[in-house]
Amino acid sequence: MAFSPKTRRYLVIFLLIGWGISLSYFALRSKKPALPGKEAIRFYRDNRLLMGTFWEVISPDKRSSAIVFAEVKRIENLLSKYIEGSEISQLNRTGKLKVSPDTFYIIKKSKEFWQASGGAFDITVAPLADLWGFTNQEHVVPNDDKIKLTLKLVGSDKIILHENDNVVEFKFPGMKIDLGAIAKGLALDCCVKILKENNIDSCLINAGGQVYALGEKSGSPWKVAIQNPRKPEITGVLKLKDKSVSTSGDYEQFFFKNGKRYCHIIDPKTGYPVSSGVSSVTVVTDSGIEADALSTAVFVLGKKSGEELLKKFPRATAKIF
């Protein structure tokens, strides 16, 4: 059975973490006593399909997975463009909506990343994603006239935010937003906040390859493997404590037409899928939202401009392939 590239990346991270967990179990079962002062800790692990990807939770506290899955579901119900009743779907239909504080916050943050990235990160690419068939998975290469016309609906400066009453308004009919490049990051941050409120200080959340590592695993940083986007090999292992890591690349979702590869991340300047010469970008930083948005933005910008953007975010480090 073939796995999608995304599933494969998930599996690599899964296996490496699994190795750590197996050792913990081994310590539990071993006849030898644990090292002096070191108690073998039991880890609980659970997974769930949410926001279109596998979420995996590993923690010594058995409450963690239920907390994470409930919170991710709440965020998905607010932000998914695939859920008819979500605030984003309603906004995309009506062009003006009073939204919840979380939705307002993520749209506001998205505009900030749009500004910082010189327009490379842009949630208003949704009509272009529709045009290229990425929304319904019926991929097509549209003609240039259609792309030019659709580009008129793109640009986060065309989103008006009414701060006093949390109303979001689009300047032009037909505009839509897509939070696919940032919503999982926000969901990770919201989960971490609730875990901490419940006095849980050790948990690894893996959202289909985008990870938040809360605290430590048995007194050491959590270990997460990064896979080579083009070959089935690991390019490095990250040691993470209170950090998020996100990867964006052209191997996630793509299609081939006449020998050319078209990926699901779109350059808002041209209206075409990105071809910046980069195949994947991995960003490590303090928050899920920053890791998610920056990995997408740097992928759009390419190596040179991407590195310039990263200078504005001193807490972030990146690997660009």
> Is 56 a residue that touches ligand ADP (CB under 6 A)?
no
Q: Which stretch binds Mg ion (CB under 5 A): 16-24, 93-101, 171-179, 288-296?
A: 288-296
Residue 100 to residue 86: CA distance in whole angstroms: 11
Contact string 163-182 vs Mg ion (x = CB under 5 A) = ------------------x-
Instruction: Give 164's Cβ-side CA count (13 Å radius).
Output: 0
> Is 244 a residue that touches Mg ion (CB under 5 A)?
no
- If the CB atoms of residues 59 and 280 are measured against Mg ion, the closer one turns out to be 280
Q: Restricting to residues 271-310, which ones interact with ligand ADP according to CB under 6 A?
A: 292, 295-296, 300
Length of the chain in terms of residues written: 321
At residue 170, the 3 state secondary structure works out as: strand
What are the CA-CA distances from residue 260 to residues 160, 254, 256, 280 (Å)? Answer: 37, 10, 5, 17
226 touches, from Mg ion, ligand ADP, none (C-beta below 5 to 8 Å by class): none
Residue 73 to residue 218: CA distance in whole angstroms: 29
Query: Which of 72, 226, 265, 309 touches ligand ADP by CB under 6 A?
Result: 265
As measured in angstroms, the least distance from the Cβ of 132 to ligand ADP is: 10
Q: Which residue, chain included where needed, has tokens 């929304």?
A: 135
Kind of pairing, strands 260-263 and 222-227? unpaired
Q: Which stretch binds Mg ion (CB under 5 A): 59-67, 160-168, 263-271, 289-297?
A: 289-297
Contact string 121-160 vs ligand ADP (x = CB under 6 A) = xxx-x---x-------------------------------
Residue 127 to residue 286: CA distance in whole angstroms: 31
Residue 194 to residue 192: CA distance in whole angstroms: 5
Q: Restricting to residues 232-251, which ones interact with ligand ADP according to CB under 6 A?
A: 248
Residue 190 to residue 31: CA distance in whole angstroms: 41
Q: Which stretch binds Mg ion (CB under 5 A): 42-50, 225-233, 266-274, 286-294?
A: 286-294
Show Cβ contacts of residue 248 under 8 Å, excluding neighbours closer than 6 positions: 181, 265, 280, 281, 295, 296, 298, 299
Binding positions for ligand ADP, rule: CB under 6 A: 121-123, 125, 129, 178, 180-181, 184, 248, 252, 264-266, 268, 292, 295-296, 300
Site for Mg ion, rule CB under 5 A? 181, 292, 296
